[in-house]
Amino acid sequence: MFILVLSALFAAPLFIDWNDYRPAFEQQATKLLGRAVKVNGEVRLRLLPAPELKFDDVVVADEDGSLEEPFLTVKSLQARLNISTLFTGTVEAHQLSIVEPTLRLEVKSDGRGNWGDVGRPGVAVPFAPKEVLLDAVRVSGGTIEIVKDGVPKFTFTNIDGEASAASLSGPYKVSTEYDYEGRRQSLRFSTGAMDAAGKFRLKAALRDPDRAAVYQLDGGVTGLGVRPDYDGTIVMRMTNPAAIVTSAAKEGAQERAEAPPSVEEAPPAMDDAQAAPSAPASPIDSASFIELKGKLRAAPDRAELPDFELTVHAKGRPQILKGSLALEFGERFKADGRINARFVDLDALFGTATDGKRPAPAAVLYQFADWVLDEAAGLGQGVLVMDIEQAGLGGDVVGGLDVELTARDGGVTIERLKAVLPGDNRIDVSGRLRQGAMGPVFAGPIEIEGESLRALTRWAGDRVMSGQTSVGDYALSAFATIGDGALTLADAQGEVSGTKFRGRLQYQGGTRNVIELALDSDRLDLRDMLGGGPIWRAWLGEDTGTATDTGTGAEPGGESGESLLTQLRDDDVRATLKVGELLLPNIPAGKLDAQLALVDGTLDIEALDFAAPGAIALNGKGRIADLAAVACGPGRPQPPGADHRRLARSHRALRPPRGREQIEAAFGARAARHPRRVGGRPRRRGDQDLARIERPGRRLRHGLCRPRQGRAGEARRREIDIGGSVTGERPQALLVLLFPDLPQDRIAEAAGADGTLSLKIAGVPNVKLTGRAALETAALQLSFDGHGALKDQGVALTGHAALATQDASLALPFVGLDAPPSAQGVPLTVSADVVKEGGTIDLDAVKSEIAGNAVDGRAHFERGDGKTRFDITANADRASLPAMLGVLVAWERTASTEEMLGTVGANAAEVWPARGFALEVLDDTEGDIALTAETLVLGAPFEVANATLKARVDRDGLTVTDLEGGLFGGALAASGVLSPRGGGAAVTAQAELTGGQLAALSQSVAGARLATGPFDMSFAVEGEGLSPPGIVAGLGGKGTLTLGAGTLLALNPGPLRRVAAKAKSNIKATKEEIAADTQTVRRTLTKGIYDYAPVRIPFEVKNGTLRLAPATLATTGADTEINGYVELASLRLDSEWRMALTGKNSEGVPPVTVLFAGPLDTARDIAPSIDTAAIESYLTIKRMQEDVERLETLDVSGRSAAQEAAAREAKEAAEAAAERAAQEAAAEQAAQAEAKAAAQAAADARAAAEAKAAAEAKAAAEAKAAAEAKAAAEAKAAA
């Protein structure tokens, strides 16, 4: 604007009388600008050596004519003219220098500016502005102030730049630099000439080096003199080098992020709020690159982006958001934004990961709330609506995110927040968000419901509940206040497994956290929530004072064995519980009325009343001082006279869940009134007390012993003798009491119906214990005989173990693996000599039978430094490589989960497991495997004879270093690697088969000998995906198939030769004979032999499709062209065999096409499709041509004109029929070729679409897949 004004000022002296000097210049400039112009300094003109005109201290009045606060001030204005162009009537300024100009632009409340009257349209001047050329305009030391309502809004200082213009009315080109808010920026723009309506085009680029930002505009500007409007496009790009993560750093961070969260990394929400994370403060700080593009309509009082696209790269993950934005710059700044996206990674945008670990959801939400409040502080009024299909939060996927936020006066109201949390849990929140003393504070109603509280609490990072909760319907609603280190749930109402409760929860963080809980319910069912495991293990934890098997000792944490009470030792807790009927796992239902207080490490049981009619009656109060130091586990000294209570409690803890036997014990004086008795008098054996519990009619036997005196730790040095058995529906659950690392839930599912667990051990625990343990159910028999000891470095065992089952899938849970479907219903027996010392286990003389096939070998396992190292050697009659790899597939996921994650592509063959990968086991495992097998099945029909396999397992994946054996009569050598890639896997494989026999290959694949002769094949492929079908669908590579001289047993060129011979004969064929001939070709073409010469056929694998290069099988008198491909994901074959005669008698004889298409898993059912249309057309045309030739050679002498005309008509009709037949044949061939091309294009497009879908789903599923891995690891640790 000031360039336009100053250029007009420069033009004024060109048409005045120089003798008038300053007054004349001021008068003409005022007339031209419509504003008072004052030259306070000198006016100097120099003609030689070049014309130069200079004005000092020029002032242009404001809109009201005042010079007190002028529209424009210029320290100096100097123009150098081109003297040669003056004689032509054109004014051209070589250089116009403007020194220290200050331009003040004011925007009124109605959007008009104070420049609207500048220029006075219609005022006559003695020259046309278009005749004034501005070759170069230089500005130095300039300032522009943009004022709104009398208050400066934007100030640009130290403006230095250049401009040029063809005339005073444009077009203009400007390049300048300036300072804005302490940052140096550059601006370049160009304009088009203004049309009659006052519209011109603007192209501008603004660069902000300090922020690595570029802003580009391209559109039209109107109303510059009154109320300027811009309508065009905007592109904004911003780069943050500090946030760019290198590839190596990303891989390392990803590996660390996928590790299961510990207690420290996932504290409750209030702990995160109290910690008040400080970085990153906004998505801009987290993003390495931001791009905004879309349409822009702007005016001084408003701006609108009706349809923008925002791309944000944060921590290596691109995210695309679309939406609209409307801004109003009135008395109150208003903003209305709408955003929608398929996936947004909130962890990447707002998370503050520490040590490469993923942030807890509470920490991410804290950062998001803090950012929202910061943005709201600068708004007068605003609305933000978000519709996000999936969002990454806390390392998992949150779906259906529907949010509406409103901001007013610095506060934020959550009008609506709905989402589907992990585990299909749903949340609905509304309320008020404000800035508290320590950070964001939320207050408002909250509703949450679902079926998997375990998934929710594990995702939320809860310290205790994630390891205790299981499944079951639940719902909770309350008025929640969260923030400033406090959490309050007031007027809480909920439902668990169909039972309702009400209450209040208050948490206040501090030096000692204070927790107050009040719970009231008529009937409360916690069985599904707590699971089927022993209640003492779920809530009281394990004995952490004894070293683990690894020799490293127990680790602190909610899932490492600490009890709930121990974890609360630094908290003050008060709880009031009133439940009319409480249902807990493994405990009879009863009424509970309790008041508990845990203050300064002392548990004060103020009142405890639990009564299960006909089963248990417990009433009392007491105190446990220094709770964290109280010993846990067997052998704890009991107070005198507590034998009957100790026995009753032990009996209830050890009985099988849902067992048929109801154990009823009494306390105090009520013992005699129950139909059970503590039988016999306590008998002394050495320094032990023995007792027995029995029920009339049936006995559940177990001996209980303890030291008569001394500390609990001395039990390991005293002789014990324990024997007993439990019979019930789930006695196998008791194994978890003895071996806490076993996965209790999967063992319970595996063992099935009624059974018996028996145990007999005797000796001194820390010296030697000898005995036997056995579990016998209808589906599984497990036993161990030998001796062991409780050493400082862990349990030591030496003995013989055996397992037998009719379903191998029941055995794998004992080693913590999910069983693939191929293991179901497979008989299995295993026996081995076991030696365990510290963290090492040796299995020798391993003998087993799997489905009648013998397997023997040995194994060595060593646990240390958080890793399991192994060395396995095995010999087998028959083994299956897919079955062995099945343990790396996430069978525990449902098909619907895989569909949501996009891990399994459409149209995948059943041979590929329709599940994602479970490669977490590789993170802390490494070792070597050596296998020899008489038959190693790679997948039907590929069976390798006398196979040897060597493999290596480590965190980089599973590497098959050497696989050798016999296949299809030849020698196979192969290798490959399966390595983790985010939530999926990558595969590379190489193989070479030499000396193979086609007879063996065709017999295995199609069930019949279709060819004979030798062949060699080699290939190398690679790919990656979220599942086996995904990897196969994206495979790429190359290979070669080399055929030696051989014979096809189902292809015969003879029928085609007979057609050629008949076509060359003089025998006229009828339509019926032609149809019969073509039928004969179809019937006999695939019956006979076809000897072919050696040929080399390259092939390429791309997007999961193996495509053969065009090749020819040559034989005497015929060539057969082969084109074909195999869709590997669907295992579907599509091939075309085009047989054509060669030699002197083959001229004109068309080829015959044979199509083989169908699924390879039913290859023997694929029937050839033979196209003889070209042969039929060929024979028909030959017959018609012969008719024509006969007509031409007929003697027509003596015929009448009518006869000659009839002959001509017959000839023309025959020729026309022949031409039509030829056209029809050509059209049919073209249609077939087009159909084939369309089918091929469709197949290519489908393969490309599946590959693209897998690639797009990979980023969206990575958080979910990693969370699944984390959940599996946590479940394993919790067990």
How many C-beta neighbours within 10 Å does residue 55 have?
Answer: 26
Identify whether the C-beta of residue 26 lies closer than 8 Å to the C-beta of residue 38: yes
Residue 744 has pLDDT above 80, yes or no: no
Alpha-carbon distance 532 to 870, whole Å?
33
- Token reading at 1036: 């790429």
Alpha-carbon distance 561 to 549, whole Å?
13
Alpha-carbon distance 23 to 36, whole Å?
12
Identify whether the C-beta of residue 497 lies closer than 8 Å to the C-beta of residue 527: yes
State the pLDDT at residue 743. Answer: 53
Name the DSSP letter for residue 114.
T
Instruction: Please provide the average confidence, as pLDDT, over all residues in the chain.
Output: 74
State the pLDDT at residue 668. Answer: 31
Question: Where is mean pLDDT largest: 366-380, 429-443, 1229-1243?
Answer: 429-443
Alpha-carbon distance 1141 to 1163, whole Å?
29
pLDDT-based confidence at residue 1031 (cuts at 50, 70, 90): confident
Identify whether the C-beta of residue 429 lies closer than 8 Å to the C-beta of residue 444: yes
Alpha-carbon distance 510 to 488, whole Å?
15
* Residue where the block lists tokens 């042969």: 1175
For the chain, percent of residues with pLDDT exceeding 70: 64
Alpha-carbon distance 1137 to 1153, whole Å?
6
pLDDT-based confidence at residue 322 (cuts at 50, 70, 90): very high
| Strand bridging mode 132-148 / 102-107 | parallel
pLDDT-based confidence at residue 211 (cuts at 50, 70, 90): confident
Q: What is the DSSP string of 970-1035?
A: EEEEEEEEEEEETTEEEEEEEEEEEEEEHHHHHHHHHSS--EESEEEEEEEEEEEESSHHHHHHT-
Question: Where is mean pLDDT largest: 876-885, 893-902, 905-914?
Answer: 876-885
Residue type, 1265: A
Rounded average pLDDT over 760-781: 85
* Residue where the block lists tokens 């040590």: 355
Rounded average pLDDT over 968-972: 94
Helices (H), 202-297: 247-257, 269-275, 283-286
Rounded average pLDDT over 167-187: 86
State the pLDDT at residue 423. Answer: 79
Residue 493 has pLDDT above 90, yes or no: yes
Alpha-carbon distance 1253 to 326, whole Å?
34
pLDDT-based confidence at residue 730 (cuts at 50, 70, 90): low
Residue 95, classed as helix, strand or coil, is strand
Alpha-carbon distance 433 to 410, whole Å?
10
CA angle 1065, 1067, 1072 (to 5 degrees): 120
Rounded average pLDDT over 713-729: 64
Question: Where is mean pLDDT largest: 15-24, 81-90, 734-743?
Answer: 81-90
| Strand bridging mode 287-299 / 925-939 | unpaired
Name the DSSP letter for residue 626.
S
Identify whether the C-beta of residue 1263 lies closer than 8 Å to the C-beta of residue 397: yes
Over residues 123-143, the pLDDT tens digits come to: 444 444 445 556 778 999 999
Over residues 256-288, the pLDDT tens digits come to: 434 333 333 333 333 433 334 444 446 666 677
For the chain, percent of residues with pLDDT exceeding 90: 23
State the pLDDT at residue 1246. Answer: 67
- Interaxial angle between packed helices 1054-1064 and 1173-1193, expressed in degrees from 0 to 180 and rounded to the nearest 10: 10
Identify whether the C-beta of residue 263 lies closer than 8 Å to the C-beta of residue 243: no
Alpha-carbon distance 522 to 502, whole Å?
10
How many C-beta neighbours within 10 Å does residue 1200 have?
Answer: 8
Q: Which residues contact residue 385 at a Cβ distance below 8 angstroms, ignoring those fewer than 6 apart?
A: 337, 338, 339, 403, 404, 405
Nearest partner of 849 among 817, 877, 824, judged by Cα: 877
State the pLDDT at residue 942. Answer: 86
Q: What is the 3-state secondary structure (H, E, C) of 915-953?
A: CCECCHHHCCEEEEEEEEEEEEEEECCEEEEEEEEEEEE
Nearest partner of 1141 among 1052, 1057, 1083, judged by Cα: 1057
Identify whether the C-beta of residue 1133 lies closer than 8 Å to the C-beta of residue 1166: yes
Q: What's the distance, Cα to Cα, between the start and end of the chain in Å?
A: 74
Alpha-carbon distance 265 to 558, whole Å?
12
- Interaxial angle between packed helices 1071-1084 and 1054-1064, expressed in degrees from 0 to 180 and rounded to the nearest 10: 160
Rounded average pLDDT over 65-83: 83
Q: Which carries the bigger pLDDT value, residue 1032 or residue 1207?
A: 1032
Q: What is the 3-state secondary structure (H, E, C) of 745-765?
A: HHHHHHHCCCEEEEEEEEEEC
CA atoms within 13 A on the CB side of 1054: 12
Q: Which carries the bigger pLDDT value, residue 110 or residue 706?
A: 110
Over residues 606-653, the pLDDT tens digits come to: 888 888 775 556 677 777 666 554 433 333 333 333 333 333 333 333
Total length of the chain: 1279
pTM over 0.85: no
Over residues 1074-1097, the pLDDT tens digits come to: 777 778 888 888 888 899 999 999
Q: What is the DSSP string of 703-733?
A: ----BSSS-GGGGGGS-EEEEEEEEES-GGG
- Token reading at 800: 């013989």
Residue type, 1035: L
Q: Which residues contact residue 178 at a Cβ distance below 8 angstroms, ignoring those fewer than 6 apart?
A: 142, 144, 156, 157, 158, 159, 160, 161, 184, 185, 186, 187
Nearest partner of 827 among 806, 857, 843, 846, judged by Cα: 806
Over residues 974-1008, the pLDDT tens digits come to: 999 999 887 788 999 999 999 999 999 888 888 88
How many C-beta neighbours within 10 Å does residue 449 have?
Answer: 16
Residue 1173 has pLDDT above 60, yes or no: yes
State the pLDDT at residue 74. Answer: 92
pLDDT-based confidence at residue 861 (cuts at 50, 70, 90): confident
Alpha-carbon distance 675 to 696, whole Å?
8
- Token reading at 181: 């808010």
Alpha-carbon distance 428 to 430, whole Å?
7
Say how far residue 398 (Cα) sits from the centre of its chain. Answer: 11
Identify whether the C-beta of residue 1125 lies closer than 8 Å to the C-beta of residue 1134: yes
Residue 243, classed as helix, strand or coil, is helix
Over residues 379-398, the pLDDT tens digits come to: 778 899 999 999 888 778 88
